[in-house]
Chain A
Amino acid sequence: MILKKEWIAMLLAGGQGSRLYALTRDIAKPAVPFGGKYRIIDFPLSNCVNSGIDTVGVLTQYQPLQLNEYIGNGQPWDLDRIHGGVYVLPPYQKSSNSDWYTGTANAIYQNINFINRYDPEYVVILSGDHIYKMDYSKMLEFHKQKQADCTIAVMEVPWEEASRFGIMACDEDKKIYEFAEKPKEPKSNLASMGIYIFSWGKLRKYLEEDEANPESENDFGKNVIPAMLQNGEKMYAYAFQGYWKDVGTIGSLWEANMDLLNPNVPLDLYDDSWKIYARNPVMPPQYVAETAVTQNAMITEGCIVEGEVDFSILFSGAVVEKGAVVHDSIIMPGSVVKAGAVVEYSIVAENVVIGENAKVGCRPENVEDKDAWGVTVIAKGIHIGKNVKIPAKAMIEQDVPEVESDDE
């Protein structure tokens, strides 16, 4: 027997995140490590649980192995439930046809049966690549109060950036009358956050119609939302205030991590009333040695710091040896920065070894051509040899053998 649920969430986690390049070579974007001990997907999952949603379907497609393993039975998020809980939903074979998920709307369409089992009044559609804390129950209240068919979470963005987003134009009552995907001349600065609440009956109807339309790309932003708007459905914009960041690019991923170190950024991970949950590694507390310098940093369990860490985030089990320097960087789980190495403005993925006296990345002020500067990325499992220099903006996906020291 399946008990009826008032609302359930569907989390779109199938995208490759191709703009994260080396970081998503063999894991899906939502599984990318973030903030010292989390993965990106921990944020929407924790938001669900904290908002009172106990049934979440996670739609996976690209490189789902790590994500499946990570989510497991959902216990770390308290989503191991008798009725409901978290389910990983990959595309599957059907008697008549079988398809990959061709778009965001198609992914939900293919799981209509899953949603129907819970017979929900409302369905929350989320994406797995945003960092934010949000109480979806307040948004649902708004949705009910407006008797809306669809509510879209929006936030104000600077006018000059508005043309990069899906922009909602709405009246004083927050009723949306126009939606434009990346408009050249935006009519408002309210950008869609990719968070939707639909009344399920309405959404199901539109998903079925969308599927029947051969010209559709089966995408929420491009097809379903415009179609609903065109038919005059009741669509409202729910204004969100607080921190929200799309971490779809190397630059924004690096920035969002650094934001955690900035006391002026309104994303408080230390707030007990809205914890972000994660699958915890089993490791002893960190050890900071006599020779260490640790300032403006987030450092977690299993780390050993003997060198200098400033404006940086170390993930579980990361090691910074004596005389090594890590500045403005992100060192993901299990990576080692050997003695005397310098890492600046870099993202070092999991289980990387940075050899002795190697130099990875560089400060923007030390680059003459500012356009050539960017965050350096070292992909998972790579070994950077002794004394090697890796320039700014480089993306290293193959081992680099050691070189002679040029000091001699």
Chain B
Amino acid sequence: MMNKTLGIVFSNMHDTMMAQLTEKRTMGSLPFGGRYRLIDFVLSNMINSGIKDVGIITKSNFQSLMDHLGTGKEWDLSRKKGGLTILPPYGRQEAVFYRGRLEALSNIYSYIRESKAELVVMSDCDNITSMDYADIIRYHKEKDADVTVVYQNKKITNAVHRDLTTISMDENRRVNGAYYNREAESGNVLLNITVIDKRLLERIVSEAVSGNQYSFTQYVLQQGNEALKIYGYEYKGYVADIKSLQSYYDCSMDLLKPEIRKEMFPTERPVYTKVRDEVPVKYGIDAVAKNAMIADGCVIEGTVENSIIFRGVKIGRGAVVKNSIIMQGTYVGENCLLDCVITDKDVMIRDSKKLIGCKEYPFFIEKGTAV
């Protein structure tokens, strides 16, 4: 069943919502969880669900993404047939700088058409979860659906209340309405993970182009829900919904909870990423680490508490790092104090500096900055 499924990943959706973190990278290449990029979770879900063909739709700033993905061999997607295909935005002559999912799909129309798959699984990168797509496909077939969309019933908070689609359904979970950024206490919020029959997708995309439609939500979920059998699939597991710097911080801190780590990193569904051949973490004589997730290649000589430390970070003697997210290659000098700080990659913090944010407003330091 799964080898007749094509995976399509939208690597740029919602880039603009996190200005600082995605200024020079796509959403998909945003570092997360100590050693991963957001796209690793989606890709790993796809391969752990048995999908062997995956196309990555890119838009802008995708050099870091290409560098990360390479030929796809770390995800076992470097294959003679199928495997990983990076789909650049101007892959064909009449391509446009897309405004929505349908337009993005029209740019890769021939890629979809040439696929031998029967079903397509589409996903964004910013809903981070460990999900078996085979369950959704089974549901899709049981319901004899044309389209299945995955949702989660949850509170709608301000932090995530942007580009948010909620759906309404009848008692059989058939979708009868879709709403864009609707004010509500709570709702059936789409995770932007969609299963659709491939031929139907081809038809929708070509019709949409001729009708100058670009939004999947508008054209399919709102206008098409009577003609098409669209069903909702409720997902109850943990989802890190990253839509802003604040939600990035909160979701990162969630990883320190054992029950969430267990859900995000189940042993039977490993999360694959680019290998960097880092050395194990070395703890010095007076090192202290408490409630911390620490990736390989770090040298810890100071104190780390309630923090996520990415690969290759050095924390000097006497330094204290609390409630912070320290990205790859950051150097924290001796006797520094960092509290509620997010450092992007390759930041250097000189000895004895004190940088303090707060949990509701973490202090962000741009990539490559020396403080």
A-side residues, CB < 8 A to B, are: 35-37, 75-76, 261, 269-270, 275-278, 280, 282-290, 292-301, 313-314
Decide if A298 touches B34 in the complex (CB within 8 Å): no
State whether the Cβ of B184 lies closer than 8 Å to any Cβ in chain A: no
Total contacting residues, chain B, CB less than 8 A: 37
Decide if A300 touches B296 in the complex (CB within 8 Å): yes
C-alpha spacing A84/B151, complex, angstroms? 51
B256 to chain A, nearest CB (A): 8
Interchain CB contact (< 8 A) of B296 among A37, A287, A292, A293: A37
Decide if B293 touches A282 in the complex (CB within 8 Å): no
Which residues from chain A contact B83 at a C-beta distance below 8 Å? Answer: none
Decide if B289 touches A300 in the complex (CB within 8 Å): no
Which residues from chain A contact B288 at a C-beta distance below 8 Å? Answer: 293-294
C-alpha spacing A270/B35, complex, angstroms? 17
Contacts A76-B275, A277-B277, A284-B261 known; A296 to B295 CB distance under 8 Å? Answer: no
B288 to chain A, nearest CB (A): 8
- Report B256-295 residues with CB < 8 Å from chain A CB: 256, 258, 261, 264-265, 270-272, 275, 277, 279-295
Contacts A295-B286, A299-B283 known; A286 to B277 CB distance under 8 Å? Answer: no
C-alpha spacing A296/B289, complex, angstroms? 12
Which residues from chain A contact B285 at a C-beta distance below 8 Å? Answer: 295-296
Decide if A36 touches B290 in the complex (CB within 8 Å): no
Given contacts A285-B34, A287-B294, 8 further A-B contacts (CB under 8 A): A35-B280, A37-B280, A282-B270, A283-B265, A286-B293, A288-B304, A294-B288, A297-B282
B285 to chain A, nearest CB (A): 6
State whether the Cβ of B232 lies closer than 8 Å to any Cβ in chain A: no
State whether the Cβ of B33 lies closer than 8 Å to any Cβ in chain A: yes
State whether the Cβ of B79 lies closer than 8 Å to any Cβ in chain A: no
Decide if B280 touches A313 in the complex (CB within 8 Å): yes
Decide if B33 touches A294 in the complex (CB within 8 Å): no
State whether the Cβ of B191 lies closer than 8 Å to any Cβ in chain A: no
A250 to chain B, nearest CB (A): 22
Residue on B nearest A77 in the bound complex, by CB: B277
C-alpha spacing A285/B327, complex, angstroms? 13
Which residues from chain A contact B291 at a C-beta distance below 8 Å? Answer: 288-290
A50 to chain B, nearest CB (A): 12
C-alpha spacing A291/B1, complex, angstroms? 46
C-alpha spacing A285/B255, complex, angstroms? 11
Contacts A37-B296, A287-B261 known; A298 to B282 CB distance under 8 Å? Answer: yes
For this complex, 28 residue pairs linking A to B, each with C-beta atoms less than 8 Å apart, are A35-B280, A37-B279, A37-B280, A76-B277, A282-B271, A282-B272, A283-B270, A284-B33, A284-B35, A284-B261, A285-B293, A285-B295, A286-B281, A286-B294, A287-B292, A287-B294, A288-B289, A289-B290, A292-B289, A294-B287, A295-B284, A296-B285, A297-B283, A298-B279, A299-B280, A301-B35, A301-B280, A301-B295
Which residues from chain A contact B264 at a C-beta distance below 8 Å? Answer: 284
Which residues from chain B contact A277 at a C-beta distance below 8 Å? Answer: 277
**3 interchain residue pairs of minimum CB distance:** A36-B280, A285-B34, A300-B280
A243 to chain B, nearest CB (A): 15
Decide if B281 touches A299 in the complex (CB within 8 Å): yes
Which residues from chain A contact B73 at a C-beta distance below 8 Å? Answer: 75
Decide if A294 touches B283 in the complex (CB within 8 Å): yes
Interchain CB contact (< 8 A) of B290 among A286, A288, A296, A301: A288
Which residues from chain A contact B272 at a C-beta distance below 8 Å? Answer: 282
C-alpha spacing A37/B293, complex, angstroms? 18
Best-buried of B270, B272, B286, B294 by chain A (most CB within 10 Å): B294
Which residues from chain B contact A35 at a C-beta distance below 8 Å? Answer: 280
A305 to chain B, nearest CB (A): 8
Residue on A nearest B289 in the bound complex, by CB: A288
Decide if B277 touches A284 in the complex (CB within 8 Å): no
Interchain CB contact (< 8 A) of A301 among B258, B296, B299: B296
Decide if A290 touches B290 in the complex (CB within 8 Å): yes
C-alpha spacing A294/B304, complex, angstroms? 11
Decide if B293 touches A287 in the complex (CB within 8 Å): yes
Per-residue CB contact flags for chain B residues 282-323 toward chain A (1 = under 8 Å, else 0) read: 111111111111111101100010000100000000000000
C-alpha spacing A301/B289, complex, angstroms? 15
Which residues from chain B contact A290 at a C-beta distance below 8 Å? Answer: 290-291
